[in-house]
Chains A and B, each alone.
Chain A
Amino acid sequence: MDATLVIWNKHMTKFLRSTEELLGLMLQSVLWVVLFGVGMRGMIGEVDGSDYMSYILPGIIALSALGGAVGGGMVLLDERLRGILKEYLAAPIPRLSILLGSATSTATKALIQALIMLVVGVLMGARLAPNPFGWLASLLLLAVFAVGFSGMALAVAAVSRSIAGYHGMIFLFNLPLLFASNALYPLAVLPGWMLTIVLLNPTTYLIDAVRGLAFGAPFTLPLPLSVAVVALFAVACTWLALSVFRRSIRG
């Protein structure tokens, strides 16, 4: 447990110190909301009774959580490729704490990015539901989801041979997770085959839940189901990261 905290702390120190990464993160959030949200709003107006900004903000937030997770995975990849992992491996600490330290720092970064996005979105005119418990529940759900994303990014980071390879693999997940979901369009307008794919995507459940909880949109999927899917996603990805990581450090 101690070692997990030490590694988390070190990753956060490095993160807060890398001005480029921080700046890029902020700008990315703002650009997404401004370019995408504002542009589309001019064209679309309202979906399911919400204004389009409120409608797509949960999707953009989920996407930015993924961006944060990708950045967090990079830290593990970087430490692996540069050999810094060996310092941990030679220390009398549980192997698990190395992964947990990386996972918690990754999820923290993903959550920070999601929060920035939320604030920018609200400033740009997204309307939050009046119930603060809904906000809190959304954040909690986002955190769980971020853990899942982190697990995925860390699993990829544990096996990638290069930074380019890592980004290639991540891109492969990234695109369908956003576009094969209800992030940009409501489930009702999708043709049957696409609906099937979208319903297999855990992002869909997160977005539906966050829309309902934080922005007061009607739930199109049962909330307990959404919560269960998101939790399952997090557990499955963490397990994946763990088994891949275990294998990767076996010298």
Chain B
Amino acid sequence: MTDLAIVARGLRKHYGLVIAVDGIDLAVPRGTIYALLGPNGAGKTTTINMLTTLASPTAGEAAVCGYDVVRQADRVRACIGVTFQDIVLDSDLTGREVLDIHGRLYRQPAALRRQRIAELVDLVQLGEAIDRRVRTYSGGMKRRLELARGLMTDPQVLFLDEPTQGLDPQNRVGIWSYIRALNRERGLTLLLTTHYMDEAEALASRVGIVDRGRLVAEGAPGDLVATLGADVIRVRGSGNQAHFVSQVAALPFVARVETDVEAAMVLVYVDSGSRRLVEVVGLAGGNGFVVEDVTVARPSLGDVFLHHTGRALRD
């Protein structure tokens, strides 16, 4: 087997006239946490569906654990774990039954199932609640139970579709720490999707930015951000934005200027934000552009998204 856990070449999926995934290439080494970051409708779930054999590609090919997702679908299924975007649990069953039934579907012997359940209840800290009906669980407990179910069969690759959607900050950080621990201690390969840039930044060793079915940028989060410049000065204001932009762009220390039209924001990438701030803002006065708000920060993955797509990624 190769050292790539997930490979995709020219993966496409059409639904009638809708092009959900428009040719995606992936190469995810084993032991990586890979995040697909993109807005609603970008094609993240469709990509996961093809990689987990739930949807068949219109064109292109993919392999997971070294097996082709179409021709060797059962092999792929046996080596992966999945959690879906929406919570998919039988509310009339107890947490233990959910895990046990899952194990039985994968033909795990009873002793192994008992042992796995004990370990996983410990990992995701469900405690006594494991013997309660799922209908009595909170959203966070349900997500943790789903994570445990995805891990029940000790997969080599785990797919998580928006694992922290709808969770409060505390539960989010909790899920993050399980994900990191699994990756660190067991070398598990994870592919997760998210539209939170902080999540991608906090977890992933590699990020793929998806927009309209295409991978528009890929790399380590730090590298992606570093290509933009050291700091970004965000200037929000009203008036003649175009003139301001052209003036700022002419400054020698400005690496790049971008505009976020919706938010009436100009983003100025510079070598050092605190040193250049005064000069940049100074250009606004008297040119018909009135500054309302200025912030200086390190660029984020959100800025990377804006840079590649011309649109802002909003949560």
Query: In the complex, what residue of chain B is closest to A87 when comparing beta carbons?
Result: B88
Q: Does the CB pair B92–A90 fall under 8 Å? A: no
Q: Does the CB pair B102–A251 fall under 8 Å? A: no
Residue from B56, B88, B90, B106 within 8 A of A251 (CB atoms): B56
A251 to B86, CA, bound (A): 17
The segment from A6-14, A31-39, A43-51, A236-244 found at the interface with B is A6-14
Contacts of A93 in B (CB 8 A): 105
Residue from A18, A82, A88, A92 within 8 A of B74 (CB atoms): A92
Contacts of B84 in A (CB 8 A): 83, 86
Contacts of B86 in A (CB 8 A): 83
A87 to B102, CA, bound (A): 8
A97 to B89, CA, bound (A): 20
A134 to B84, CA, bound (A): 51
Q: Does the CB pair A3–B105 fall under 8 Å? A: yes
The answer to the question of A169 belonging to the interface, with a C-beta cut-off of 8 Å to chain B, is no
Contacts of B101 in A (CB 8 A): 6, 10
Contacts of A18 in B (CB 8 A): 92
Name the interface size band of chain A.
20 to 34
Name the interface size band of chain B.
20 to 34
Residue from A2, A14, A92 within 8 A of B77 (CB atoms): A92
Q: Does the CB pair A89–B106 fall under 8 Å? A: no
The answer to the question of A91 belonging to the interface, with a C-beta cut-off of 8 Å to chain B, is yes
CB distance from B101 to the nearest CB of A (A): 5
A2 to B107, CA, bound (A): 8
Known: A18-B92, A91-B106, A251-B54. A13 touches B77 (CB 8 A): no
Query: In the complex, what residue of chain B is closest to A93 when comparing beta carbons?
Result: B105
Q: Does the CB pair A251–B92 fall under 8 Å? A: no
Q: Does the CB pair B77–A90 fall under 8 Å? A: yes
Using CB atoms and an 8 Å cutoff, list the residues of chain B in contact with chain A.
Answer: 49, 52-56, 74-75, 77-78, 80, 82, 84, 86, 88-90, 92-93, 97, 101-102, 104-107, 149
- 18 pairs from A and B in contact (CB 8 Å cutoff): A6-B101, A6-B104, A10-B93, A13-B93, A14-B90, A14-B93, A83-B84, A84-B88, A87-B88, A87-B102, A87-B105, A88-B105, A90-B77, A91-B105, A92-B77, A92-B106, A251-B54, A251-B55
